[in-house]
């Protein structure tokens, strides 16, 4: 299992429903990261499932964008955590707001998926975050706490789970919270919700070359979950220079 505590910062690329075999090849040719060698920072690519095994010939780590709540059986179209493991995945994004919104992933389903990941030694990146109304009403912290409490697996630890704070209104919108708002929410999760456990928390939502540095330099931020900018190769390379 990936030893996440060995890393200082983690960068996770979420391709979402984008890519092709030729794009995957170009990506592997262009994106270089000395992640394993210096053991300081870590880069993980989450392409759509058909492209994951292509990365075996590179030194890039891979992850899934989602997994099944089921282990096996008559569930057409599903991909289990065991299958992700078989393909060489180290992590899996779970509870992304797009899964919650378009595929009805409830807190209960997310809880089951997180359990499956932990059972199969895949590190889940558990996504949480408030929508714009909840933020305007001053309920962001409560919403995040409720999401965490409703889905965190019983046996989670700072070695087997990563969190990602992704305010919904920031995803794909070009908007990001103020820098001190990001550190405030991350500190709140670490100190008040998780009682100072050393759980890694990534930030996600409209991270780009022009804004990533201020975010990743925050001591409360353990890395970035990047969507749109991760599939623009030139843009993404700039981010990987940090």
Asked if 96 is an active-site residue, the reply is: yes
Separation of alpha carbons 69 and 216, rounded Å? 32
Q: Which one among 185, 190, 227, 239 touches ligand PGA, defined by CB under 6 A?
A: 227
Separation of alpha carbons 88 and 73, rounded Å? 22
Separation of alpha carbons 126 and 19, rounded Å? 23
Closest contact distance (angstroms) between CB of 206 and ligand PGA is 4
Asked if 184 is an active-site residue, the reply is: no
What lies within 8 Å, CB to CB, of 131 at 6+ separation is: 143, 167, 168, 169
Q: Which one among 225, 236, 239, 240 touches ligand PGA, defined by CB under 6 A?
A: 225
Separation of alpha carbons 174 and 169, rounded Å? 9
The answer to the question of residue 14 lying near ligand PGA (CB under 6 A) is: yes
The answer to the question of residue 80 lying near ligand PGA (CB under 6 A) is: no
> Near ligand PGA by CB under 6 A, which window of 40-48, 82-90, 109-117, 222-230?
222-230
Which strand (E) or helix (H) includes residue 126? strand 123-128
The answer to the question of residue 224 lying near ligand PGA (CB under 6 A) is: no
Please report, for residues 4, 12, 109, the alpha-carbon distance to residue 39 in angstroms, rounded to integers and kept in the order given: 10, 16, 34
> Near ligand PGA by CB under 6 A, which window of 48-56, 63-71, 104-112, 227-235?
227-235
Separation of alpha carbons 224 and 165, rounded Å? 9
Closest contact distance (angstroms) between CB of 228 and ligand PGA is 3
**Residues from 108 through 147 that contact ligand PGA (CB under 6 A):** none
Q: Which is nearer to ligand PGA, 95 or 227 (CB)?
A: 227
10 Å Cβ neighbour count for 220? Answer: 17
Separation of alpha carbons 161 and 119, rounded Å? 12
Separation of alpha carbons 122 and 64, rounded Å? 10
> Near ligand PGA by CB under 6 A, which window of 60-68, 109-117, 146-154, 164-172?
164-172
- The active-site residue, picked from 98, 112, 130, 166, is 166
> Near ligand PGA by CB under 6 A, which window of 133-141, 152-160, 185-193, 203-211?
203-211
Residues labelled as active-site residues = 96, 166
């Amino acid at each position: 299992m990936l030893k996440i505590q060995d890393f200082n910062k983690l960068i996770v690329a979420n391709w979402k429903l984008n890519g092709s075999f030729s794009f995957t090849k170009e990506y592997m040719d262009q994106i270089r990261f000395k992640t394993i060698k210096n053991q300081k920072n870590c880069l993980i690519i989450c392409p759509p499932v058909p492209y994951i095994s292509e990365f075996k010939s590179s030194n890039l780590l891979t992850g899934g964008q989602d997994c099944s709540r089921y282990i096996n059986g008559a569930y057409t179209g599903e991909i289990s955590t065991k299958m992700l493991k078989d393909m060489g995945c180290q992590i899996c994004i779970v509870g992304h707001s797009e899964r919650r919104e378009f595929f009805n992933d409830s807190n209960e389903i997310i809880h089951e998926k997180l359990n499956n990941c932990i059972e199969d030694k895949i590190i889940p990146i558990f996504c949480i975050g408030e929508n714009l109304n909840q933020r305007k009403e001053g309920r962001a912290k409560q919403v995040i706490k409720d999401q965490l409490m409703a889905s965190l697996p019983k046996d989670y630890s700072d070695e087997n789970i990563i969190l990602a704070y992704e305010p919904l209104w920031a995803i794909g919108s070009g908007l990001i919270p103020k820098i001190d708002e990001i550190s405030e929410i991350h500190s709140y999760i670490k100190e008040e919700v998780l009682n100072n456990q050393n759980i890694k928390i990534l930030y996600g939502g409209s991270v780009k070359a022009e804004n990533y540095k201020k975010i990743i330099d925050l001591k409360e931020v353990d890395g970035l979950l990047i969507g749109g900018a991760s599939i623009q190769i030139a843009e993404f390379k700039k981010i990987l220079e940090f």
